Structure 1
Amino acid sequence: MSAQGATGRRVVVTGLGAISCLGSGVPAFWQGLTSGGGAPRPVTDPDARMANRLMYLVPAADLPDGPERHAHVELAAGPRMAIAAAHEAVADAGLDDAQCERLSVVLGVEMGNAGRHEARRAAEHGAPIRRAVGRWSPMTVTSAAVSAAIGATGGSTSVGNACAASGYAAAIAADMIRAGETDMVLTGGAEGPTRVGMGVFNRIGAADPVACRPFDTDRQGTLFGDGAAMLVLESAEHAEARGATVYAELSAAAFSCDAHHPTAPDPGGTQAVRGMRRALADAGLRPDDVGGVVPHGTGTPLNDVVESEALREVFGELCDELPLFSLKAMIGHTAGVAGAFGVLTAR
């Protein structure tokens, strides 16, 4: 699949919202990036019993207080941050209640409401199983909670394909606009801290003991970060008609999957190269038209090598001068919202 940039309606970015370890709001995000980024610190969860407890955490003062519930579902930190960032994005886009009602919502979320499940399990440890049976709640509540909070009735979709989720969500949102299905989409993602995410990377030995250090010769893995990033996308014609401020154009996107291994990329980087070249072709651009790259850059030894070689294959000698911004060194690996943070930063 690809979001066709060479045909169909142009898609532009008109609203932004963000919460990260750098603080709450897009101004705090930019200020934090230009000041050198954040630093990991130990999680305070007493049940996170693992060797490496480091994470790029949203400061406690910047965590939204509520809403605590969506319908009958209790909301963990991730969905609550998603709602706060969504409110910022639609306000930044200048959307009134009637325009918000027409919005579609497409979010990329990996862990969703897992934090709430983990808290319940910790509180009910040792209790009879029957106590938890009637208290089940869905993991993928984030998109629905955001739609309800901003009054969006244009359709709600959640994409959950790991750390590529919100990148896919942005491309799907662009496809919807280009196909004429809608004029505006709120897209992005959100993730809160979870023991399962940290635990998995501890178990496979992929958690760096110092920091997330993409492309560093001493890198030993990645470290997670939490937060939310939201973007309002709309057709260029619609944005112009309502006098909206345009930040950037989302000119194309492309998908690929090497299916090489559940946790390791194809050492040859064939599909990464294919995805980049297809996106450039759909946008009608040449490699020398690109002014900068925000790579995936996890800091894991194998991924960074493969990504470096794929970039060299696509951009050749241009790599010697092409700016490359390693976002995860600033805010950690934000899992399902990593793609949205990349788009927001690149704009």
Structure 2
Amino acid sequence: MTKRVVITGVGSITPLGNTAEESWQNALAGKNGVALLTRMDTTDYAVKLGAEVKDFDASEFIDRKAARHMDRFTQFAVAAAKMAVADANVTIDETNAEDIGVWIGSGIGGMETYEKEFEKLIKRGPSRVSPFFVPMMIPDMATGQVSIQLGAKGVNSTTVTACATGTNSIGDAFRVVQRGDAVAMITGGAEAPITKMSMAGFTSNKALSLNPDIDSACRPFDKNRDGFVIGEGAGILYIEELEHAKARGANIYAEIVGYGSTGDAYHMTAPAPDGEGAARAMKKALVDADLQPEAVDYINAHGTSTPYNDEYETMAIKSVFGDAAKSLAISSTKSMTGHTLGASGGIEAVFAVQTIRDNQIAPTIHLEEVDEKCDLDYVPNVKREAEVKTVLSNSFGFGGHNACLIFKQFED
């Protein structure tokens, strides 16, 4: 018999705030996290905008010496994980360490570290490259450092599936607890991709918006959208087996009831025509949750603000939900956070459970002229109060990765 899995702690660091609650309240308020980039010199770059984390001080969460040996994405992961564990009111010690695991993903890992050390190699030679280069750069180090910092000795793994990473990570951790291989998991995604190389690469492959206007560059489902705005941050859930959570009197945000994951087998960067791979992932999540499409109240869309994604995600939703698609509330919180790549599924999972908790839906901001091919209810510009018992969260990534999670209001 598979075990039921609930969320008992959340932690986030996003362009909207340095805690889960601050990020959520700013999302409900429709705050724009996009601004002129400050972490790099954009003089020679066509793109000048990004969604940066503001005023983050790693020393609030990590010893200064240890923090120096972590890339920024790992610092985000450790900070958000510590907040999630504290929110769950859990102390990890010798009595439970082996039953608590970590599964945190990153789409591109330590790009900032890679660039700094490569510059040393070119300018000063191989002997000057740091011995910490490799362990700081590799994407699994978010998981590794969270485990070390918190003492969690259970299942320890990492998923790398581009922009589906955070959602796949949570789904994979969900399966671990569901089958009984761990009592609890610290899971989500982290990313710090605002660097010279990644900005150049995403601009070169025409993924990023060239719109210089802070208030309209990131506009999912809008007719005039032209690409995504890059963001950074981390979103972490503390998930655990239901009976264990109940026995310790834990506060339960919501239950994870469904997970679907598919591959497009189509193209390196473009989604499959008509969103057929995304549709299959949504269907798998619904089957896994044993739910009919009509049971879903809200979809946190992948909604990247790229021409193909938004159109094909809309088509996929229509194909899965049929007539029910017209009555669904859908929004893209990326309109406010930017696209945080491998962190996005984690950040949006936190938003999903907060939506269920508060019965409030964050809007899609900057939606002024709706694309005629995107003709569903995207909760434009202003939050909405509504009874929300079930949320579907979508994430799709380069390489044809599609991942969907379903969260449900907890009922004993």
Gap change, CA 1:56 and 1:85, over 3 Å in 2: same
One-letter code of the match for 1:274?
R
Gap change, CA 1:35 and 1:133, over 3 Å in 2: closer
Moved segments of 4+, more than 6 Å: none
One-letter code of the match for 1:201?
F
1:1-30 CA-to-partner distances (Å, cap 9, x unmatched) read xxxxxx611110000000111111112111
Distance (whole Å) between structure 2 residues aligned to residue 93 and residue 204 of structure 1 = 41
One-letter code of the match for 2:260?
A
Distance (whole Å) between structure 2 residues aligned to residue 184 and residue 143 of structure 1 = 14
Equivalent residue number for residue 309 of structure 2: 303
Equivalent residue number for residue 207 of structure 1: 208
Shift of 1:134: 5.0
Distance (whole Å) between structure 2 residues aligned to residue 205 and residue 325 of structure 1 = 24
Matched, 1:91 2:86: yes
1:254-306 CA-to-partner distances (Å, cap 9, x unmatched) read 11011110000111322211111111111111111001001111111011111
One-letter code of the match for 1:13?
I
Distance (whole Å) between structure 1 residues aligned to residue 335 and residue 96 of structure 2 = 34
Secondary structure of the equivalent of 1:293?
strand
Q: CA RMSD in A?
A: 1.9
Q: Which runs of 5+ in 2 are unaligned?
A: 354-412
Shift of 1:195: 2.7
Equivalent residue number for residue 3 of structure 1: none
Shift of 1:69: 5.3
Equivalent residue number for residue 105 of structure 2: 108
Q: Which runs of 5+ in 1 are unaligned?
A: 1-6
Equivalent residue number for residue 50 of structure 1: 45
Equivalent residue number for residue 267 of structure 1: 273
Gap change, CA 1:69 and 1:318, over 3 Å in 2: farther
Q: Is the 8 A contact 1:85 1:229 kept in 2?
A: yes
Distance (whole Å) between structure 1 residues aligned to residue 320 and residue 240 of structure 2 = 30
Q: Is the 8 A contact 1:109 1:336 kept in 2?
A: yes
Matched, 1:26 2:20: yes
Q: Is the 8 A contact 1:16 1:88 kept in 2?
A: yes
Q: Is the 8 A contact 1:24 1:62 kept in 2?
A: yes
Distance (whole Å) between structure 2 residues aligned to residue 160 and residue 261 of structure 1 = 17
Give 2:254's match in structure 1, choosing from 248, 253, 266. 248
Shift of 1:219: 0.2
Shift of 1:122: 4.0
Q: Is the 8 A contact 1:67 1:75 kept in 2?
A: no
After TM superposition, list the pairs within 5 Å mapping 1:220-239 onto structure 2.
220-239=226-245
Equivalent residue number for residue 146 of structure 1: 146
Give 2:35's match in structure 1, choosing from 19, 24, 41. 41
Shift of 1:117: 2.1
Corresponding pairs, count: 339
Secondary structure of the equivalent of 2:329?
coil
One-letter code of the match for 1:296?
H
Equivalent residue number for residue 178 of structure 2: 178
Matched, 1:340 2:335: no
One-letter code of the match for 2:71?
A
Q: Is the 8 A contact 1:105 1:143 kept in 2?
A: yes
Q: Is the 8 A contact 1:68 1:74 kept in 2?
A: no
Equivalent residue number for residue 9 of structure 2: 15
Q: Is the 8 A contact 1:113 1:142 kept in 2?
A: no
Q: Is the 8 A contact 1:19 1:58 kept in 2?
A: yes
Equivalent residue number for residue 195 of structure 1: 196
Equivalent residue number for residue 315 of structure 1: 321
1:128-158 CA-to-partner distances (Å, cap 9, x unmatched) read 2443275632322211111111111113211
One-letter code of the match for 1:38?
N
